[in-house]
Amino acid sequence: MRLPIVHNPAYDAKFSPDHRFPMSKYRLLAEAIMREGLAGPGDFHVPGPAPAAWVKLAHDPAYVDQVYAFDVPERIEKEIGFPVTERTALRAQCATAGTVMAARLALEHGVACNTAGGSHHASRAQGAGFCTFNDVAVAARVMLADGEISSALVLDLDVHQGDGTAEIFADDDRVFTASVHNAKNYPVRKAVSDYDLGLPDGMDDLAYLKTLALVLEELRARITPDIVFYNAGVDVHRDDRLGRLSLTDHGIEQRERMVFSHFRARGIPVCGVIGGGYSKDVEAIALRHVILHRVASEFVF
């Protein structure tokens, strides 16, 4: 069968093309997925907005209410990087529900991907770094609360540390947080994940993949989760405007294949989310994000 892919047109909040956050990448990614034949127009699983009760499992209820009422304090909006309007709030709600949907599909089919998600800088108290809600944290908490899983691994390979995710699960031993990121990149003040590895600037494909192989073996020895939430940020690419690593398209493809083959060989479902990717050439970013879906489609049962 085809890879279950979750997408909602509301993921694109239609920012101005000159905004630092390349919002149109979500629309372009869906179009690229269809061009590659990974999904047809009617094949996407379409999430609705996440109920506030779901989001409050991972975030402070007062902050959640502010987002749903489009009444977020200006100082928090500045940390997020854009105003929380009706459109951006809806986008956050749908992307969060999309990761819940993708995780449930992964339990059923072994793998599934969201065309958004990976908003890992949102902490319990507020959003930050272009992240309004931490979709992975919400999804894990929803599934734990419903008894669908008893444990989870968040494997974050975005170029930036998953600081919000680490903070949310700091006292929750049901969720193991692992972040492999560029050491000198945002955020300046790193959180403490269950496993952190800061990489030097300029790391290329070969060095990165050798390092990742060692990381996966270390994680094998430490946890056997019911599901893996995989943040496949493409801001590790050598041409990314906010990254400081030097991976190529081929290196990212090998990274994805290494992750999916490792966990599927162990019988562990994987839910992929796209994470970060930044460039004025938004079409190029979308094509890098397609790699996740292309490789994941090899592992559907």
| Domains in the chain: boundaries | 5-299
Contact present, 130 and 154 (Cβ < 8 Å)? no
CA distance 292 to 238: 17
Q: What is the pLDDT of residue 41?
A: 84
Q: What angle is formed at CA 111 by the lines to CA 106 and CA 115, rounded to 5 degrees?
A: 90
Residue 187 pLDDT: 95
| Exposed/middle/buried for residue 46 (C-beta within 10 Å: 0-12, 13-18, 19+) | middle
pLDDT at 39 over 90: yes
Share above pLDDT 90 across residues of the chain, in percent, rounded to a whole number: 96
Return the residue matching tokens 């170029």. 159
* Range 207-222 average pLDDT: 98
- pLDDT for 128 beyond 90: yes
Upper half-sphere CA count for residue 118 (Cβ side, 13 Å): 28
Distance CA 273, CA 289 (A): 9
Structure tokens at 169: 């699960």
Confidence of residue 133 (pLDDT cuts 50, 70, 90): very high
Question: In angstroms, what CA-CA distances link 28 with 32, 94, 287, 288?
Answer: 6, 17, 8, 11
- What integer is the mean pLDDT of 141-166? 98
Residue range 55-110, pLDDT digits in tens: 999 999 999 999 999 999 999 999 999 999 999 999 999 999 999 999 999 999 99
Q: How far is CA 252 from the centre of its chain?
A: 15
Q: Give the class (CATH, top level) of 5-299.
A: alpha beta
301 has a pLDDT exceeding 80: no
Least confident of 16-25, 187-196, 221-230: 16-25
Q: Which has more pLDDT, 280 or 227?
A: 227
Q: How many other β-carbons are positioned within 10 Å of the β-carbon of residue 108? A: 10
Predicted confidence (pLDDT) at residue 20 exceeds the cutoff of 90: no
Cα(11)–Cα(26) distance, rounded to whole angstroms? 6
What is each CA distance from 167 to 15, 63, 125, in whole angstroms? 29, 16, 10
- Flag whether the pTM goes above 0.85: yes
Q: Of 16-30, 122-136, 203-217, 266-280, where does mean pLDDT reach its minimum?
A: 16-30
Of the two residues 22 and 123, the one the predictor is more confident about is 123
DSSP label at residue 146: T
The closest of 118, 231, 214, 137 to 175, measured between CA atoms, is: 137
Phi, psi of 84 (to 5 degrees): -90, 100
Q: What is the mean pLDDT of residues 177-183?
A: 98
Give the number of other CB atoms < 10 A from CB of residue 77. Answer: 17
pLDDT for the residue 1: 79
Mean pLDDT of 273-294: 96
